[in-house]
Amino acid sequence: HQSQDRSYGANDRLAPVFEYFAPYNLPNDLYKNLEEMTGHYSRWNFEDNTKWRNTLKLYLENKQPFIVCAENVESVSHYFTWDAYNTPVPKVVNDSTFPNKGTIWGELRNIVHFVFCEPWTLALENKTLLIISPHASLMKGQVGKPIFPVEIFRNNTFIFMESMGPRTILPEFDVALIDFVNPVACAHFLFTTKGKSTICMGKALSLMFGLYDVDDIQTFQDLSKIFLNQYWKRI
């Protein structure tokens, strides 16, 4: 600005600007006063985390197998969706393929945003989790370490596999969390052969076990400011 007056006080401070992502398909009237309800645009949509945690609990209590993927295909129970703004057209069109499928905000997979608000992963309490990821061996070594200040898994048993094929002998488990090259096919195989549930996590699965890459540091600033400690490993 052109003014030379630099006598600023606390009352002159402007609220910090954050880009706020509202889930796609969320009615606009839910946030009638957006600035106030989002804490000056700094607050993530924690209601979606709570809703998915409760839905997940019901699935598990009723012993109802489910599939959650990023793709909206016939075999899935729910699929991850994104805000429409700045989203590639195919992902938005994806929502119209099977309009009756349940939607889950895709950002919920990035657990770093929800660590302090009872993350949805706590719905998996006491369950045996099958983890399929190319980083499975590193993840196994991270179990039990204080990756986050609070627990995101509670009393879980973990089984780790780096890959899976049609002839793979599968262990007994309750829910699979996968980062797999063909997640829909993998989830469908686990559903049809074992009658088990799968959540397709993508690369966000690594963050749950304290593994990160350069892109994660750039994308999630909270990661380096709050969570990174000596137990985190760069991949």
Q: In what order do the strands lie in the sheet with 197-200?
A: 102-105, 78-81, 67-69, 197-200, 175-178, 128-132, 157-161
Give the per-residue SS3 of 130-157: EEECCCHHHHHHHCCCCCCCCCCCCCCE
Half-sphere exposure of 79 (CA within 13 A, CB side): 23
pLDDT tens digits, 27-56: 545 545 555 555 544 455 778 899 899 999
| 116 in Cβ contact with 150 (< 8 Å) | yes
pTM of the model as a whole: 0.76
Give CA–CA dist 216/220, Å, rounded: 6
* Mean pLDDT, all residues of the chain: 80
Name the band, by pLDDT with cuts 50, 70 and 90, for residue 11.
Answer: low
| 135 in Cβ contact with 235 (< 8 Å) | yes
DSSP H stretches of helix in the chain: 34-37, 46-61, 89-94, 136-142, 183-194, 204-207, 214-219, 221-222
pLDDT tens digits, 148-200: 999 999 999 999 999 988 788 889 999 999 998 888 888 889 998 899 999 99
| 204 in Cβ contact with 90 (< 8 Å) | no
pLDDT tens digits, 49-89: 998 999 999 999 999 999 888 765 666 677 777 654 444 54
Instruction: List the structure tokens of 217.
Output: 């540091």
Q: Answer yes or no: is pLDDT of 224 > 90.
A: no
